[in-house]
A and B are shown apart, each in its own frame.
Chain A
């Protein structure tokens, strides 16, 4: 009888151990990013564009920090301001947001002079960096991100034209690799969660 009880206890222990092992492994296996993950992360070449003070800015200036990259334009009626607002909302709950850069690259350099872009971007916060330059240089920067932008004439619009463009947000890790991306309409809480996870990894 004692032997049977011992065997029963052994079976229970083995069953529980198997379950714990599986659940444990899944939780240890790591954080599940909310953004779309690129594996392996894509290394990015450096580029140079002009910032809102008219000074050259290199992507490599952000090496060692997390950088969010977005392609947009200040005349954009909806997608760009909404996305920038979502980024600002997400950063509000990131304790170490001073280690995060937000790079807004204009796809409408014709109208987005450094001054115009500077006024626009300063409304979102000090982490936001506005970049503009000749269209040819901007076009070169779009390619490694798989992004596009094209001018679209709009009849009867006081804006004259709109720019059709990629609306996703990119996250570049401190090694200057493209790691995550977020489609338009992402939840700010998802970005907050990923940023805090990455920043925790950096500090631990």
Chain B
């Protein structure tokens, strides 16, 4: 009887943990950047536009989704994409790829996105 109770408790625990893991997975695989209000003006006046890495590295299946939230009043380029004012851009990468392009909220106006293959994808070198 005690064993049955323990087994039942274990099953419930696994269920709850599984539920929590799955519900959090979407958040965990997303990296979000915010373009602050006035970013363009700040860059034009030589001040820092936004804290952004020169290179963003993602991994298919794990951390493969990028969200760019543009809180500025002007359109911004972000590598191969653009983000309209007060809008957000969301892109999930399903395949490995490298993009280099213009970034209008980087001081040097250049950025790179590297999407690595999933660790379990042995078909891609």
> Which residues of A line the B interface, CB within 8 A?
1, 4-5, 7-8, 11-12, 14-16, 18-19, 21-23, 26, 32, 34-40, 42, 143-147, 167-168, 178, 181, 183-185, 187, 190
Partner of A32, one of B75, B83, B92: B92
Chain B contacts for A185, CB-based, 8 A = 97
Distance between Cα atoms of A200 and B14 in the complex (Å): 38
Q: Judge whether B8 and A187 touch: CB under 8 Å.
A: no
Distance between Cα atoms of A23 and B18 in the complex (Å): 10
Given known A-B contacts A26-B22, A36-B90, A37-B91, A4 and B84 have beta carbons under 8 A apart: no
**Other A-B pairs, 15, CB within 8 Å; known A32-B92, A36-B90:** A12-B11, A16-B15, A21-B19, A22-B23, A23-B22, A26-B26, A35-B91, A36-B89, A37-B89, A38-B84, A42-B84, A146-B82, A183-B81, A183-B99, A187-B95
User: Which single residue of chain A is at the shortest CB-CB distance from B104?
Assistant: A146
Chain B contacts for A19, CB-based, 8 A = 15, 18-19, 22
Chain B contacts for A36, CB-based, 8 A = 81, 89-91
Q: Judge whether B8 and A145 touch: CB under 8 Å.
A: no
B88 at the interface (CB under 8 A from A): yes
B16 at the interface (CB under 8 A from A): yes
Chain A contacts for B19, CB-based, 8 A = 18-19, 21-22
Distance between Cα atoms of A190 and B82 in the complex (Å): 19
What 7 pairs across the A-B complex have the smallest Cβ distances?
A: A15-B15, A146-B82, A183-B80, A36-B91, A8-B8, A18-B19, A42-B84
Chain B contacts for A39, CB-based, 8 A = 87-90
Distance between Cα atoms of A187 and B96 in the complex (Å): 12
Chain B contacts for A23, CB-based, 8 A = 22
Chain B contacts for A18, CB-based, 8 A = 15-16, 18-19
Beta-carbon contacts under 8 Å, B42-100 to A: 75-77, 79-84, 87-92, 94-95, 97, 99
Nearest Cβ on chain B to A15's Cβ, whole angstroms: 2
Chain B contacts for A11, CB-based, 8 A = 8-9, 11-12, 15
Chain A contacts for B5, CB-based, 8 A = 4, 7-8
Q: Judge whether B89 and A15 touch: CB under 8 Å.
A: no
Pick the most buried of A1, A19, A144: most chain B CB atoms within 10 A of its CB: A19
Distance between Cα atoms of A151 and B7 in the complex (Å): 72
Distance between Cα atoms of A29 and B95 in the complex (Å): 22
Show 17 residue pairs from A and B whose CB-CB distance is below 8 angstroms, ordered by the A residue: A4-B1, A7-B5, A11-B15, A15-B15, A15-B16, A19-B15, A19-B18, A22-B22, A26-B26, A32-B92, A36-B81, A38-B87, A146-B76, A146-B77, A146-B83, A147-B82, A190-B94
Q: Judge whether A15 and B14 touch: CB under 8 Å.
A: yes
B4 at the interface (CB under 8 A from A): yes
Nearest Cβ on chain B to A49's Cβ, whole angstroms: 20
Q: Judge whether B75 and A146 touch: CB under 8 Å.
A: yes
Chain B contacts for A145, CB-based, 8 A = 82
Distance between Cα atoms of A8 and B5 in the complex (Å): 7
Nearest Cβ on chain B to A169's Cβ, whole angstroms: 10
